Amino acid sequence: MRDILKNYIDHAWVAPSSDATQEIVNPTTGSVSGRLALSTGEDVDRAVAAARQAFASYSQTSLEERSALLNRIADGHEARAEDMARAVTADIGTPVAYARTIVQVGAGQFRLLAKAIETYPFAEDQGGTRIVKDPIGVVGMIPPWNYPALQSAEKIAPALAAGCTMILKPGTPYTNQVLAEILHEAGVPKGVFNLVNGRGSVIGTSLSRHPHVDMIAFTGSTAVGIEVQKNAADTIKRVSLELGGKSPHIILPDADLQAAAQSAVAKVMRNSGQTCAAPTRTLIPRVHKAELEALIRTAAEAILVGDPLTDVFMGPAANEAQWHTVQKYIQAGIDEGATLLTGGPGRPEGLNDGWFERPTVFTDVRNDMSIARQEIFGPVMSLIAYDTVEEAIAIANDTPYGLAAYVDGGDQAVVQAVASRLRAGQVMLNGKGPDFHAPFGGYKQSGNGRIWGLAGLEEYLETKAVVGGC
C-alpha cells in the first residue's frame, strides 16, 4: 500500500484543504494499492498564487539558467528511471520493459529543450522592429493517464524552457509523484512547479476557469477537451489541445505485406491499445485481403498478454471503466456485422484477475460502423478493404479526427503522394516514427496546437513587437 496524500505547492509538500480520498487500484490485480488525496478549488487557488508570484522572477532568468535546470532534471530523471518505470506499471499496467523506454523518452524531452533554447531566436529584428518571444505566464497542465512518464514531461519541459510557471493536475498518482520529487531535487525554484492531486472535474475545471491562469495545456479525449475549452472561454486564455484519434493505416498494394502486418498489429496493441495515435483503422487492398487477414491474425495471436512485470507485450487495461468501455465496443462490432477475426469479449484464458483484454481484430468493417468511427482506446483493430488508392485516401480522411496517419508501400513517390493528401497532423511512413523532435498534434477534432520540438516550445510563448527597438 502506498498513499499519495499531499500536494506539491510553493516548493513544499502540503496537505490539501480536504481530507477526502479515493482508492488507487492496481490494474494487474484489481486490488487496492493506496489512497489518493482529493483536493479542492481552494488548493488550486493556493497553487496558482504561488505560480503567479514566482513568474515575476522566473520569467527573467537567463537561458543559461533554464538550460542548466532542464539538464539537471534530465539527470535526475535518468537516475530514477527504474523507479519511474515501475511507477508507470503500478499506475496503468504498462509492461515494465516498455515503460523503461517511455521513461527514457520523457527524460529526453528535458534534454531536448535544454539544447533547443541555446539557439532558439527569442528576439529577431525585422526592419525597424524587434520581435520578441516572451513566456506566456502561468500554465495549468492537464495530462492524461496513458503515458504518464512522457505526457507530463512534454508539457513541463517546454514551459520551463520558455520561462513559464505551472500547476500540474496529474493523470496518474505514482508516476507523477516520482516526477515531482525529481523536479524538487533538481532545484526548480520556489513556486515555479506546483502539483495538485484530485479529480479532473474539480482540479481541471478550476484551472481552466481560473482568472490568473494564462494558458491550459490539455491532452485527453475530444469530449473533455471541448469542456476545457468552454471553461477557459470566459478568461480568453490560450488553450492547447491534443485530443483523440481514429488514425488510418493505409497498406498499399505494393507494400511488404509481412512487415506491414507486423507493424500494424504492434502499433495498435502496444500499451493495451491505449494510444491516441494508434492506427486502429487498417486499410487493406482487397486484392491482398485474404493474405493480410492471415498475416494480421497470426501477428495478433502471437501477442503475449500477462503480468506486466514479466516479459510480455501487453498488460491490462488501465482501469475497470476502460475495460468495460472496450468490451462494449467489441460487442458493438459483433452486433453491427463485422467479422471477428481473432480475440473478442472477455479476458484471455487464465487471466481472471485484473483488467486484461484479448487482442481483437475485426475484418469486413465498414467505415460507418462504431468500431471505425469511435476512439475505443483498447486493443481493437478494424480491417477495412479498399479497391483503389483513391478510395483508400477517401476512407482515411472520412473521420472527425486527424491526429495521425500511416502509409506503407514500396514506391516511395506514391507513398509520399498519398501522405500529402492525408488530413492528419503527423504521417508516418513504412514503419517509421514517432519522431519526438517533430511537432505532434491534430487536425479537425484531434485538437489544436502542437507538442514536441520547437513547435511545442512556441506554444508557451507570446509574440511582442517592439517598434523602433532595433
What positions carry a catalytic annotation? Answer: 242
Which class for 120: exposed (0-12), middle (13-18), buried (19 or more C-beta within 10 A)? middle
CA 356 centroid distance within chain: 21
Give the Cα separation of 30 and 255 in Å (integer).
42
Nearest Cα neighbor of 470 from 121, 132, 119, 62 is 132
Give the Cα separation of 3 and 105 in Å (integer).
27
Q: Is the peptide bond before 285 cis (omega within 30 degrees of 0)?
A: no
Query: Which residues have C-beta within 8 Å of that of residue 204, sequence separation ≥ 6?
Result: 140, 142, 169, 218, 224, 228
Cβ proximity of 88 and 104 under 8 Å? no
DSSP label at 310? S
At residue 319, the 3 state secondary structure works out as: coil
Cβ proximity of 90 and 174 under 8 Å? yes
